């Protein structure tokens, strides 16, 4: 039995400051139908505006993080049908999240699933995970950002190879190309994501937000403009209590206690 639309994304807060959003369509390997996309956008928007949430962990299941788009919704779709789905708005709710996002990837992350993982700031992969953009094998191309994000992650020539052939990457291959941040044994990857999230949740929130903004800006502007943004953000942080807390803790050789 498939899940109802109400529970296709499960949300819980396992430790202070950490919210886990879990894709929950296991019968179809967490394939992205419109209901799942909408719930995911809503969940990210809610996490972004919730002051109790400082880090988001995005997870799937043991067999699949997300195996891509639900093709049952695509097979007879017309261009106007696809336009009406407002995919830019739904993907945008994820990319607009100001808080650190960690993707914990087990199993397949293919097509839209790989694109979903690339919306995160850190990708922690199981050693059994696989990544790829196989849309070309269906007579299509990526529509969730892979031609842009994958190219920025691994460079033009590797991106072209993956996008034009639909080839899959193992987790170690993805790590070697720079597509993922870390690789861990399958049974440990989610625990590692949670421990990293808990550590980040204790960090200086505004500094983390400014770092994220600056890094993302670097992919959309010139070096000069990016450096200007970095300098201004750096300067603004000198108005924060976190700056004083962090420096005094370092000088006193004690752990900082950020707000």
Residue 1: predicted pLDDT: 37
Ordered by start, the domain boundaries in the chain are 5-201, 205-251
Candidates 3.30.1490, 2.60.40, 3.10.450, 1.10.12; CATH matching 205-251: 1.10.12
Average pLDDT over residues 27-46: 97
Kindly name the residue from 103, 107, 135, 144 that is annotated as catalytic.
135
Distance CA 105, CA 57 (A): 10
Sign of CA dihedral 244, 249, 255, 257: negative
Strand order through the sheet with 101-105? 9-15, 18-23, 55-59, 101-105, 122-126, 182-184
Tell me how crowded residue 35 is: count the other CB atoms within 10 A of its CB. Answer: 17
Give the confidence band of 2 by pLDDT, cuts at 50, 70, 90. very low
Residue 199 annotated as catalytic? no
Domains 5-201 and 205-251 share a fold: no
Residue 135 annotated as catalytic? yes
**Percent of residues, the chain, with pLDDT higher than 90:** 96
Residue 6: predicted pLDDT: 67
Give the confidence band of 147 by pLDDT, cuts at 50, 70, 90. very high
Average pLDDT over residues 73-83: 94
Residue 158: predicted pLDDT: 98
Q: In this structure, what DSSP letter does residue 23 have? A: E
The mean pLDDT value of the chain amounts to 96
Tens digit of pLDDT for each residue in 156-178?
999 999 999 999 999 999 999 99
Task: Return the SS3 of 220.
Answer: coil
Tens digit of pLDDT for each residue in 103-127?
999 999 999 999 999 999 999 999 9
Statement: residue 27 has pLDDT above 90: yes
User: Which residue do the tokens 């842009």 mark?
Assistant: 148
Contact 66, 23 (CB under 8 A): yes
Residue 4: predicted pLDDT: 55
Residue 246 annotated as catalytic? no
Kindly name the residue from 112, 113, 132, 145 that is annotated as catalytic.
112
The bridge status of strand 122-126 relative to strand 182-184 is: parallel
Residue 115 annotated as catalytic? yes
Residue 106: predicted pLDDT: 98
The answer to whether domain 5-201 has CATH 3.90.226.10 is yes
pTM across the whole model: 0.95
Statement: residue 196 has pLDDT above 50: yes
């Amino acid at each position: 039995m498939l899940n109802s639309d109400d529970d296709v994304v499960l949300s819980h807060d396992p430790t202070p400051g950490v919210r886990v959003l879990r894709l929950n369509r296991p019968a179809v390997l967490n394939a992205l139908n419109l209901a799942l996309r909408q719930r995911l956008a809503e969940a990210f928007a809610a996490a972004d505006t919730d002051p109790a949430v400082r880090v988001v962990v995005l997870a799937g299941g043991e067999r699949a993080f997300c195996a891509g788009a639900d093709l049952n919704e695509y097979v007879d779709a017309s261009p106007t049908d696809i336009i009406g789905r407002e995919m830019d708005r739904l993907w945008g709710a994820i990319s607009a999240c100001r808080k650190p996002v960690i993707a914990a990837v087990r199993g397949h992350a293919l097509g839209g699933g790989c694109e979903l993982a690339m919306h995160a700031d850190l990708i922690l992969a199981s050693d059994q995970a696989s990544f790829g953009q196989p849309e070309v094998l269906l007579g299509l191309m990526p529509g969730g950002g892979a031609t842009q994000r994958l190219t920025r992650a691994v460079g033009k020539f590797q991106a072209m190879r993956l996008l034009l052939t639909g080839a899959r990457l193992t987790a170690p291959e993805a790590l070697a190309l720079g597509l993922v941040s870390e690789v861990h044994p399958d049974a440990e990857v989610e625990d590692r994501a949670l421990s990293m999230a808990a550590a980040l949740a204790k960090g200086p929130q505004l500094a983390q937000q400014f770092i994220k903004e600056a890094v993302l800006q670097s992919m959309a502007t010139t070096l000069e403009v990016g450096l200007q943004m970095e300098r201004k953000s750096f300067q603004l942080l000198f108005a924060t209590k976190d700056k004083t807390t962090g420096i005094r803790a370092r000088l006193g050789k004690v752990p900082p206690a950020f707000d």
